[in-house]
């Protein structure tokens, strides 16, 4: 009897699954960061809510940790419809649209409130740009404030000269160039390996990424809280996939996206405190850069702002005017 029951349960589950697959759309959601990362956890909750609330019309299956597509591949995968939905670090896409890197310009927005204002000021143009590439924008969530990690103590600009530096976008490459560091672009998935092999010895990223990578295990002892920008991840959908949904389901997706965005910003704020503490608890020295270094980075930021404004042209001017 027990066995019969089990068989019935399995049969029923198979039937239900087939039914779901036949009656509704299924989207694969490509996520670059590990399942434990707050962006991935938030996206997973979003996917679950959409799947539950759409009454079988849309099922979203998440693939964290780059298991479907790696970070560097996700934008193109979604654009070409290989994945229907995905999350990508916006400021790595400056070649697609310079407006996508506005959130990585040093010292333009140095608090969550400013980051939100900059987001609102830039969102309309960014959404338009993505739309022209066949993409629907759903939501964006910032990483905690970016800080400087180093294997050795940094007390002056001279200490930074020649340091092998892990960069994650054009902006961090430019910071390295203007500082005299030697940059290599490396996706988050390869950070631990890059530090442990000695390929790099410094980077600028969030306390969250350092904590998730247990970066102290790779000889990184110092974290300097520069808090110069809050770069965001965005979630985008392929427009053909989007157009296959009825308007009621589209509305559900947008509602859940807006909820995920709010939740994501709250999780980020919490991580901005908790994860710095986690670095200190793991024995790292967590502090601020001194006045000389701060001045140096501010100068770098001013140069980069000018360069960005040139690249972004009149659309960029519009965003800056709306922000100020």
Q: Which residues bind ligand PCA (CB under 6 A)?
A: 89, 143, 168, 188, 205-206, 208-209, 231
Rg of the chain (C-alpha set):
21
Q: Which is nearer to ligand PCA, 62 or 206 (CB)?
A: 206
CB of 207 to ligand PCA, least distance (A): 8
Structure tokens at 95: 């070649």
- Shortest Å, Cβ 39 to ligand PCA: 9
CB 65, min distance to ligand PCA, A:
13
User: What's the token pair of residue 119?
Assistant: 């987001």
> From CA 158, how far away is CA 37, in angstroms rounded?
34
Q: For residues 98 and 210, which CB has a smaller minimum distance to ligand PCA in the complex?
A: 210
Burial class (CB in 10 A: 0-12, 13-18, 19+), 200: buried
C-beta nearest to ligand PCA: residue: 206
Nearer to ligand PCA, 103 or 256 (CB): 103
Could you tell me the smallest distance in angstroms from the CB atom of residue 93 to ligand PCA?
13
- The least distance separating ligand PCA from the CB of residue 206, rounded to whole angstroms, comes to 3
Contacts for 278 with CB less than 8 Å, ≥ 6 apart: 207, 211
Nearer to ligand PCA, 106 or 231 (CB): 231
Compute the distance between CA of residue 91 and CA of residue 171 in angstroms, rounded to an integer: 8
Contact 41, 35 (CB under 8 A): yes
Closer residue to ligand PCA (CB): 90 or 252: 90
Q: Which is nearer to ligand PCA, 32 or 241 (CB)?
A: 32
Distance of alpha carbon 302 from alpha carbon 182, whole angstroms:
21
Strand order in the sheet with 147-150: 182-185, 164-167, 202-205, 147-150, 222-224, 285-287
Q: Return the residue matching tokens 């389901």.
A: 249
- In whole angstroms, the minimum distance from the beta carbon of 216 to ligand PCA comes to 16
């Amino acid at each position: 009897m027990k066995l019969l029951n089990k068989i019935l349960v399995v049969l029923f589950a198979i039937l239900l699954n087939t039914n779901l697959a036949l009656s509704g759309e299924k989207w694969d959601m490509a996520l670059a960061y590990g399942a434990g990362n707050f962006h991935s956890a938030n996206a997973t909750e979003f996917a679950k809510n959409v799947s539950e609330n759409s009454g079988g019309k849309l099922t979203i299956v998440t693939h964290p940790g780059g298991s479907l597509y790696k970070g560097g591949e996700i934008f193109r995968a979604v654009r070409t419809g290989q994945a229907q939905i995905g999350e990508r670090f916006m400021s790595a896409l400056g070649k697609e649209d310079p407006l996508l890197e506005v959130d990585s310009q040093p010292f333009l927005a140095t608090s969550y409130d400013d980051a939100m204002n900059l987001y609102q000021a830039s969102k309309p143009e960014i959404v338009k740009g993505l739309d022209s590439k066949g993409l629907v924008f759903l939501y964006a969530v910032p990483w905690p404030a970016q800080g400087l990690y180093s294997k050795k103590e940094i007390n002056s600009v001279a200490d930074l000269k020649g340091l092998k530096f892990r960069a994650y976008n054009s902006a961090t490459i430019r910071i390295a160039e203007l500082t005299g560091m030697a940059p290599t672009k490396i996706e988050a998935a390869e950070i631990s390996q890059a530090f442990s092999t000695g390929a790099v010895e410094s980077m600028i990223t969030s306390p969250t990424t350092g904590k998730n990578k247990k970066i102290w295990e790779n000889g990184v002892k110092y974290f300097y809280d520069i808090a110069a920008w809050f770069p965001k991840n965005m979630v985008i959908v392929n427009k053909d996939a989007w157009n296959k949904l009825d308007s009621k389901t589209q509305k559900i997706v947008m509602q859940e996206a807006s909820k995920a965005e709010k939740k994501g910003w709250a999780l980020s704020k919490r991580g901005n405190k908790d994860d710095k503490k986690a670095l200190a608890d793991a024995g790292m020295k967590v502090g601020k850069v001194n006045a000389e270094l701060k001045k140096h980075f501010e100068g770098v930021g001013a140069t980069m702002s000018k360069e960005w404004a040139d690249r972004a042209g009149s659309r960029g001017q519009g965003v800056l005017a709306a922000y100020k």
